[in-house]
Structure 1
Amino acid sequence: MHDIRAIRENPDAFDAALARRGDDALSSSILELDTARRSKIQAAEAAQADQNAASKQVGAAKAKGDEAEFESLRALVSEKKAEVAAMQTEAKELDAKLTDVLARIPNIVADDVPQGADEDENVEVKRWGDVPEFAFAPREHYDLDSVAASMDFETAAKTSGARFVMLKRGVARIHRALAQFMLDTHVDENGLTEVNSPVLVRDEAMYGTDKLPKFGEDSYKTEEGMWLVPTSEVPLTYTVAGDTLEASDLPRRMTSHTLCFRSEAGSAGRDTSGMLRQHQFEKVEMVSITLPEKSDEEQKRMLSCAEGILEALGVPYRTVLLCTGDTGFGARRTFDIEAWLPGQNAYREISSVSTTGDFQARRMNARFKPEGGGKPQFVHTLNGSGLAVGRCLIAVLENGQQEDGTVVLPAVLGPYLGGKTTLSLDGTLK
């Protein structure tokens, strides 16, 4: 959510910031609506003052026994009361309209975000690991002999439709092991607090984390009006909604492993083979609530946490800074981590680590009290995948594939797999 006062003070800067995203100038229409709203509020306050003054005169006229004046003033009070009510209603309607307009405008990107139209203009900032060389043509995950029998799309389609999968035997256990490994690493080594969070949330939580109103069609809503979370960013971030925190309590760093649900409304026809893009998937999410002056530093820390998971698994990756045209609606700056998938001969996104500044905090009214005193300020919120479990499974399977169709697994997963190191042709672990 944008600060209307900042738009009033510097409308040209606001329009210039929107232009960086390729959006039209909006300050003029916003300020016109804001002026109408403020004028209506002032008019309502003036009418309320007239009503109060007339009410006092009614009592005086009654005391004097001046019936004519009494009736005249009583009629005036009634008239002013109706006038005030009408003006207050109009003011509320204008306020709601202004809030809705501001809620649909994307965040202002940071100054260091590169200018660009789309993902082709993202800037690579890091590359880690050697891309494996195979003496055979590497296959995609779903074509591996050891995986095919345990990654069941047909049965999932029979029960749930397209873009669902049932994992079985060794593949299901590797998937579970990856999530456990990620959580343990983030808690034991990275100092995050584990949270077992809900996957059903209210409108307020979706709105407060900038998923509504703009992205409602991308999520699933129950008949009772609850939303299935697109990621646990929503419940984790919303834990501070309406709170005024002590500065000494920040940063607040959390992680959660949950099911996630996305309708993928805008991605018809993309990545329909395999389990790269599913309606239901699992993610280990990271969320930080921090002081404004610490948010850039915190983003780098979160990025390092996510990258560390891939490094421990031995999966090659590259990190890119998204350009203005590819930066998400609520983000000021986003780094994507892309894992190497031999079957596609390409790097594919496995994590996004974003700072939103105070964009979400304004929507949630989440503040902190400065240590030196003074007026409470909005916190900064950050979120990132640490990592997408299904996509990490794909990366592990494809990078560890052998010519005979088996898969050699990362050593760090051994403790989670009973010491077993290989996915055999029949889908069991050995």
Structure 2
Amino acid sequence: MHDIRAIRENPAAFDAALSRRGIENASSSLLKLDEERRAAILAAETAQSEQKKAAKEVGAAKAKGDEAEFERLRALVGEKKAEVADMQTKAKDLDEKLQYELAVIPNLPYDDVPLGADEDDNVEIRKWGTPPTLDFDAKEHFELTSVAASMDFETAAKTSGSRFVMLKGAVARIHRALAQFMIDTHVDQNGLQEVNSPVLVRDDAMYGTDKLPKFGEDSYQTTNGWWLVPTSEVPLTYTVAGDIVEESALPIRMTAHTLCFRSEAGSAGKDTSGMLRQHQFEKVEMVSITHPTQSDAEQQRMLDCAQGILETLGIPYRTVTLCTGDMGFGARRTYDIEAWLPGQNAYREISSVSTTGDFQARRMNARFRPADGGKPEFLHTLNGSGLAVGRCLIAVLENGQQADGSVKLPEALGPYLGGKLTLNVDGTLS
């Protein structure tokens, strides 16, 4: 959410920042609407003042026995009362319209975000690991002999439709092991607090984390009004909604492993094979709530946490800074981590780590009280995948694939798999 007062004070800076996202002259319509709203508020206050004045004079006229003046003033009070109600309704309608317009404008990118139109303009800032050299043709995860029988798309389609999968046997266990490994790493090594959060949330939580009103079609809503979370960023971030947090309590760092649900609106025909893009998936999320001066450093810390998971698993990856045209609606800066997938001969996104500044905090009215006792200020919120479990499973399977269709698994998963680090061609672990 944008601050109309800041736009009013410096419309040129607001327009310059939004122009980097391809939106031109947004301030003019907002300021016109704001001017109309403020005029309606002033008119309502003026009419209300005149109403109160006339109401006092009514009593005086009655006391004097001036019947004509009494009737005139009583009629004036009625007129002013109707005028006040009309102006208040107009001001309320204009305010709601302004709030909506402010809510559907994306966040302002930081100055260091590269200018660009799409993913081709993203800037690589780090590369780790060497893609495996295979003396055979690499296969995608669902084509591997050891995986095919345990990654059941056909049965999932029978029960739920396309873009669902049933994992069975050893593959299901590896998937679960990855999630446990991620959570344990974030809690034991990275200092995040584990949260078991709801996957059903209310409108307010979706709105506060910038998923509504503009992107409702990207999520699923139940018949009784709850939303299935697109990511646990929503419930974790919303924990501070309406709060004034003591500065000494910052930063707040949380992680959760949850089911996530996305309609994948607009992705028809994209990544239809395998489990790269699903309607239901699991993700280990990281959320940080920070002091504004800490948020840049916190984003780097979160990025290190996510990269560390891949490094421990031995998965080659590259990290890119998203350009203005590829960055998400609520972000001021986003780093994507892309894991190497031999089956596609390409790096594919496995984590996004974003800072939103105070964009979400304004929508949620989430603030902190400075240690010096100053006026409460808006918090900064950050979120990042740490990691997408299904995509990590894909990366582990494809990077560990052997010529016979078996898979060598990362040593880091040993404690979670009973020390069995080979997925055999018959789908068993040994």
Q: Same fold (TM over 0.5)?
A: yes
Task: Spell out the pairing of 1:380-419 with structure 2 (5 A cutoff).
Answer: 380-419=380-419
CA distance in 2, matches of 1:25, 1:384: 31
- Secondary structure, in 3 states, of the residue corresponding to 2:214? coil
How far the C-alpha of 1:370 sits from its partner, in A, is 1.0
Q: Helix, strand or coil for the counterpart of 1:83? A: helix
Within 1, Cα distance between the matches of 2:158 and 2:23? Answer: 43
Work out whether 1:426 is the aligned partner of 2:426.
yes
Instruction: Measure, in 1, the Cα distance between the counterparts of 2:427 and 2:226.
Output: 38
Aligned to 1:168: 168
* Counterpart for residue 369 of structure 1: 369
The equivalences for 1:23-62 within 5 A come to 23-62=23-62
Which residue of structure 1 lines up, in the alignment, with residue 284 of structure 2?
284
Of residues 91-100 and 130-139 in structure 1, the stretch that sits farther from structure 2 once superposed is 130-139
Match of 1:347 in 2: 347
CA drift of 1:10 comes to 1.0
Shift of 1:174: 0.2
Where do residues 167-316 of structure 1 align in structure 2 (5 Å cutoff)?
167-316=167-316
Instruction: Give 1:324's aligned amino acid.
Output: T
Structure 2: distance between partners of 1:95 and 1:374: 29
Q: Which residue of 1 aligns with 2:14?
A: 14
2:110 match: secondary structure: coil
Name the counterpart of 2:151.
151
Letter in structure 2 aligned against 1:254: M
Please list, as runs of the form range in 1=range in 2, the aligned pairs for 1:69-84 lying within 5 A after superposition.
69-84=69-84
Q: How many pairs are equivalent?
A: 430
Aligned match of 1:118: 118
Alpha-carbon distance, 1:247 to partner:
0.5
Tell me how far 1:24 sits from its aligned partner.
2.1
Deviation at 1:12, TM superposition (A): 1.1
Report the more deviating stretch, 62-71 or 309-318: 62-71
Please give the alpha-carbon distance, in whole angstroms, between the structure 2 residues aligned to 1:253 and 1:266.
33
User: How far apart, CA to CA, are the structure 2 residues paired with 1:53 and 1:83?
Assistant: 14
For 1:182 and 1:368, locate their aligned partners in 2 and report how far apart those are by CA, in whole Å.
30
Residues in 2 aligned to 1:335 and 1:354: alpha-carbon distance in whole angstroms: 6
Deviations 1:333-376 (A, max 9, x none): 00000000000000000000000000000000000111112211
Distance in structure 2 (CA, Å) of the matches to 1:71 and 1:244: 52
| Residues 28-57 of structure 1, C-alpha deviations (whole Å, 9 max, x = no match) | 111000000000000100000000111111
Say which SS state the counterpart of residue 348 (structure 1) adopts: strand
Aligned residue for 1:285, secondary structure, equals: strand
In 1, distance between residues paired with 2:171 and 2:23? 45
SS of the equivalent of 2:73 reads helix
> SS at the partner of 2:253?
strand
Tell me the residue number matched to 1:321: 321
Deviation at 1:427, TM superposition (A): 1.2
What TM-score do the two structures reach when normalised by structure 1?
Answer: 0.99
The CA distance in 1 between the partners of 2:340 and 2:263, in whole Å, is 26
In structure 1, list runs of 5 or more residues that go unmatched. none
- State how far apart, in whole Å, the 2-side matches of 1:427 and 1:21 are: 48
Please report the RMSD computed on the Cα atoms of aligned residues, expressed in angstroms.
Answer: 0.6
- Give the gaps of 5 or more residues in structure 2: none
The answer for the alignment partner of 1:64 in structure 2 is: 64
Partners of 1:273 and 1:73 in 2: CA distance: 77
Amino acid at match of 1:275: M
Cα distance in 2, alignment partners of residues 368 and 123 from structure 1: 34
- One-letter code aligned to 1:333: R
Matches within 5 A, 1:80-119: 80-119=80-119
Shift of 1:83: 0.4
TM-score by length of 2: 0.99
Deviation (angstroms), 1:283? 0.2
* Aligned-pair CA distance for 1:311: 0.4
Hey, what's the Cα distance between the residues in 2 that align with 1:219 and 1:25?
30
Distance 2:62 2:250 in 1: 61
**Secondary structure of the structure 1 residue equivalent to 2:178:** helix
- Residue aligned with 1:282, SS: strand
SS in 1 for 2:387: strand
2:75 is paired with a residue whose SS is helix
Match of 1:109, SS state, is: coil
* Aligned-pair identity (%): 78
